[in-house]
């Protein structure tokens, strides 16, 4: 019950988070590498996704702590009654996940925890997104990804995205497709048949201390 209440409170806290990031002008400015225009979750404070089919529901991704001088930032992912925390780092060669926390209810800076500093890390998206590029995600590097189109035009819900990157991901229950667009990041996930599983519908608040 306490967890549900905490998640509900965090929904109301989005406006507060927006205010914090709008006031982030006093923080050191982090210069993102050129490749990161299509990287997920680094451009806005809040990404709102709508799910379809079996997945259903909605998903909110909230940047709780923006990139520091080393490009390390923290996001939370809210889906249904669950809340998870992820620590990411933007590097010259790609976006990496440094740690994740499955039981997470109250906003707390976890960027300097032992879990975020150990040697375990997972590639999320490489800087090299040329067609045919194969890369592996997951902490054990067991999930195969392939860049299958770049650039391409992607249209969803009447919105048109140019210069989109399409990536196939091989999972045990089938292949999914992920679409990344400049200045938006992850815009859609499709199943093997091309049916949308999650689609980006809204974004809120530019991250103030990046350029």
pLDDT in tens, 164-208: 999 999 999 999 999 999 999 999 999 999 999 999 999 998 886
Query: Which DSSP helix (H) or strand (E) runs through 76?
Result: strand 72-79
Q: Is 211 contained in some domain?
A: no
Q: Residue 195: exposed, middle, or buried by beta-carbon count in 10 A (0-12, 13-18, 19+)?
A: exposed
Query: Which DSSP helix (H) or strand (E) runs through 29?
Result: none
Q: Is 23 contained in some domain?
A: yes
The count of other CB atoms within 10 Å of the CB of residue 52 is 15
Q: Is 136 contained in some domain?
A: yes
Top pLDDT among 143 and 10 is at 143
Vertex 150: Cα angle to 144 and 195 (nearest 5) = 65
The two structure tokens encoding residue 108: 């707390």
Q: Is 155 contained in some domain?
A: yes
Taking only the tens place, the pLDDT of each residue in 51-79 is 875 445 899 999 999 999 999 999 999 98
- Domain span holding position 48: 2-206
Q: Is 189 contained in some domain?
A: yes
Q: Among 177, 176, 174, 145, which residue's Cα sits nearest to residue 164? A: 177
Q: Is 159 contained in some domain?
A: yes
pLDDT surpassing 80 at residue 4: no
User: Based on the structure, what is the number of domains in the chain?
Assistant: 1
């Amino acid at each position: 019950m306490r967890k549900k209440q905490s998640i509900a409170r965090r929904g109301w806290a989005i406006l507060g988070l927006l205010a914090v990031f709008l006031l982030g002008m006093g923080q050191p400015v982090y210069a993102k590498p050129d490749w990161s225009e299509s990287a997920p979750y680094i451009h806005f404070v809040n990404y709102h996704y709508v799910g379809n089919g079996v997945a259903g529901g909605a998903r909110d991704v909230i940047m709780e702590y923006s990139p520091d001088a080393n490009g390390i930032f923290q996001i939370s992912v809210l889906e249904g009654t669950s809340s998870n925390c992820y620590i990411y780092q933007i590097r010259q060669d790609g976006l990496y996940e440094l740690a994740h926390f499955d039981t997470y209810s109250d906003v707390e800076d976890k960027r300097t925890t032992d879990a975020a500093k150990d040697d375990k890390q997972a590639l999320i998206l490489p800087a090299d997104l040329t067609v045919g590029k194969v890369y592996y995600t997951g902490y054990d590097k067991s999930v195969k990804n392939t860049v299958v189109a770049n650039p391409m035009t992607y249209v969803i819900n009447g919105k048109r995205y140019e210069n989109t990157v399409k990536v196939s991901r091989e999972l045990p229950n089938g292949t999914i497709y992920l679409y990344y667009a400049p200045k938006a990041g992850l815009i859609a996930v499709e199943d093997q048949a091309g049916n949308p599983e999650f689609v980006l519908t809204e974004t809120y608040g530019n991250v103030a201390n990046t350029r």
